[in-house]
Amino acid sequence: MTRLDQIADAIQQQTGIYTNARSIERIARALLTETDFWHIIDQSDEVVPIVAATLEYFKEQGWIHQENDRLTLTPEGKKQILDHWKIVRLPDYACRTCDGRGIDIRRLPESAVQTFMQIHRERPAAIIDYDQGYITPECTLARVGFAHWKGDVDHREILVLGDDDLVSLALCLIGKPRRITVVEIDERLVQFIQKWAAAFDFPIEIRHFDLSRPLPDDYLHRFDTFLTDPPESIVAFRAFVGRGIAALKGPGCVGYFGFTRREATLKKWHHIQSYLVQQNVAITDVLHNYHAYVNWDYAPNTRAWQLAPVKKAPDIHWYRSSLYRIETLHGHLGEVDTEFDIRAFNDKEASTT
Amino acid sequence: MTRLDQIADAIQQQTGIYTNARSIERIARALLTETDFWHIIDQSDEVVPIVAATLEYFKEQGWIHQENDRLTLTPEGKKQILDHWKIVRLPDYACRTCDGRGIDIRRLPESAVQTFMQIHRERPAAIIDYDQGYITPECTLARVGFAHWKGDVDHREILVLGDDDLVSLALCLIGKPRRITVVEIDERLVQFIQKWAAAFDFPIEIRHFDLSRPLPDDYLHRFDTFLTDPPESIVAFRAFVGRGIAALKGPGCVGYFGFTRREATLKKWHHIQSYLVQQNVAITDVLHNYHAYVNWDYAPNTRAWQLAPVKKAPDIHWYRSSLYRIETLHGHLGEVDTEFDIRAFNDKEASTT
């Protein structure tokens, strides 16, 4: 009988990515209910290369077999999972009203929601050049609603670092920010947001900017709140979240960011938490799988696609990320003048680029 | 015009407790909608001594006035908050189905819920000797449901460090743990849990134990999951959560604990997060104000009561705590043989003892 930690060691050796028994368990459990690759990733909540390598391992052992895009447990596989490892199916207690987010977006002002949905329909598509990929409009509304509810929007000076999710427009539709500054690398988005901000006379200032470079000096210690969605490498995290922290005024200021498990192991989570502690910020909220991403057009060119044992487009939102809220204490730091190499914005755990 | 950070400095000097402008802002905002002391604490989400001192300061400035147990803003107070500080009321977007918890306890097995409610009605009252105070039965069910849903209950070896909330019984009613070990200092609870475990033939082993002492050697590296609710000092946190971590088997094991803002500033939150990072565990979830506490009988003997400007019993659940979930990585540590002085289980931020 093979132990879960032995498989984890083998997978870690093969992929070079941190793996422990719990990861293998989560993947095995997903196989009890799912047969589609993207569903298995979503259920297991693990990074794509580990899921792919584990499924390959299971196939070699004769525990799963593949037919017509489906990965099905064999009788030996079932025996292994249910009898040997004692892994069971889990109930689903997620609240259906709020999709487990704790806030009900039907309580947001209705006309603001409708306007945002309308704007969203016209938005530019995600492109691979900037590692884009945007969350559903419902998730943007939920995130912005959460920030509004926590007192981080009205009368605040807000910085948005990368605005693929149109957070700036949603913030102005839902709340009353004093001013929003957006830094964005994609000219298409700069123009799109500028157009709508002008149409509604929103206090949004948008600037074409590459976050591998330090923020302009006059952005430092100026904002009450920042929102961002970094690529999942440590370097990118420092470039996005670290610069966000440096842009906050003083104690009691707030940052929001999304961070996924699909491209980041818990070891990387631990690493960013250690980083946050060192910057003198406190984590106030971590809401699991708060955001679902719209499946992007460039999927077949990504590493996730190459790793997929089955070349079939996802039929669900398989890519999710958690919502973090942080609050500064006295002496908060952040990245003031660090330069980063944009090529390091990806690492081994990444798979959607 | 007095600035928020100036008031924060004055309050910090007076109370000796970390305070920043955001705390004063939260208290001022609460005054826009609340007139009862306990409601103001609940709304502001701040530690009791800071709320009490800030209200006293506001009173001296003529910003609030007290009449018949009510604290009401004066016209000057309103002007200060609305016009000078630009603090506004906030919307409430919390999901009403799940009370913002993200899981709907109506989806738990109905008969289990009913049985638990019945048991709960007969439970011993909280006593001040052990800094007790228990959460509502709905919150215990939500916490246990959350753990079950995350795969941390079925077939797991579980350690409960202090079981004032009857978590062990709820775990057995909702899920199928392999075995539960409870360490508890209060003989009344030991007997109460023992009686019900015997009646249902639950795999619960309960031991009378004082957590200021190290866990027995055979508890180390033995459990898959722990649950606990520490008193809010750093020392108590290490004694409860730190010993819980040391009791976990290896990587991929899980701990749950509650931690409040009512008796812990964000500086203390930062401190415990730094501690967790050092123990090689990752924080996977932080769910704000997940638990509401039943108002305990000994309230008039507590510091919170002495600090209250108004001697009126709370008519709401004013004391809430957040739910943390942590997961171990390789090389997790914890408190193996540390002895703690039980007198250090309280500190300046505490108010319910």
* B220-272 pLDDT tens trace: 999 999 999 999 899 999 999 999 999 999 999 999 999 999 999 999 999 99
Burial B48-60 (b: 16+ CB within 10 A, else e): bbbbbbbbebbbe
Q: Do residues B28 and B61 make contact, with C-beta atoms less than 8 angstroms apart?
A: no
Record the tokens describing residue B158, joined without a space: 């579980």
Burial B230-263 (b: 16+ CB within 10 A, else e): bbbbbbbbbbbbbbbbbbbbbbbbbbbbbbbbbb
Record the tokens describing residue B300, joined without a space: 């008039």
DSSP class of residue B271 equals: H
**Rounded Cα gap, residues B241 and B272, in angstroms:** 10
**Integer angstrom CA distances of residue A267 from A15, A274, B115, B330:** 15, 10, 40, 9
Q: Which of A103, A270, A284 sits opposite B282 (nearest CB)?
A: A270
As to burial, measured by CB atoms within 10 angstroms (0-12 exposed, 13-18 middle, 19+ buried), residue A310 is middle
Choose among A346, A347, A312: nearest CA to A129.
A346
Largest CA distance in chain B: 66
pTM tops 0.90: yes
Integer-rounded Cα radius of gyration of chain A: 21
**Integer angstrom CA distances of residue A20 from A8, A24, B253:** 5, 7, 10
The reply to whether ipTM tops 0.90 is yes
**Integer angstrom CA distances of residue A62 from A10, A102, A201, B8:** 17, 42, 62, 65
**Rounded Cα gap, residues A302 and A295, in angstroms:** 12
Q: Which of A98, A267, A277 sits opposite B274 (nearest CB)?
A: A277
Give the fold, CATH level 3, of A105-345. Rossmann fold (3.40.50)
Contacts with A, B 183-242, CB within 8 Å: none
**Rounded Cα gap, residues B226 and B144, in angstroms:** 11
Nearest-CA distance A107 → chain B (Å): 6
Q: What are the residue boundaries of the structural domains of chain A, listed by start?
A: 4-84, 105-345
Record the tokens describing residue A84, joined without a space: 């040997």
Contact status of B23 with chain A (Cβ, < 8 Å): yes
Contact status of A104 with chain B (Cβ, < 8 Å): yes
**Integer angstrom CA distances of residue B159 from A29, A42, B168, B194, B321:** 23, 29, 9, 15, 21
Interchain contact, B252 vs A88, CB within 8 Å: no
**Integer angstrom CA distances of residue A38 from A48, A127, A138, A260:** 9, 21, 21, 15
**Which residues on chain B are in Cβ contact (under 8 Å) with A330?**
20
Q: Where are the beta strands (DSSP E) in B56-150?
A: 64-67, 70-73
State the count of interchain CB pairs (< 8 A) between A and B. 187
pLDDT (tens place) for every residue of chain A, 353 residues total: 689 999 999 999 999 999 999 999 999 999 999 999 999 999 999 999 999 999 999 999 999 999 988 999 999 999 999 999 999 999 999 999 999 999 999 999 999 999 999 999 999 887 777 777 889 999 999 999 999 999 999 999 999 999 999 999 999 999 999 999 999 999 999 999 999 999 999 999 999 999 999 999 999 999 999 999 999 899 999 999 999 999 999 999 999 999 999 999 999 999 999 999 999 999 999 999 999 998 877 677 788 888 888 888 888 899 999 999 999 999 999 999 999 988 888 888 888 77
Say whether B105-345 and B4-84 share the same fold. no
Contacts with B, A 305-334, CB within 8 Å: 327, 329-330
Integer-rounded Cα radius of gyration of chain B: 21
CATH assignment, B4-84: 1.10.10.10
**Which residues on chain A are in Cβ contact (under 8 Å) with B25?**
151, 252
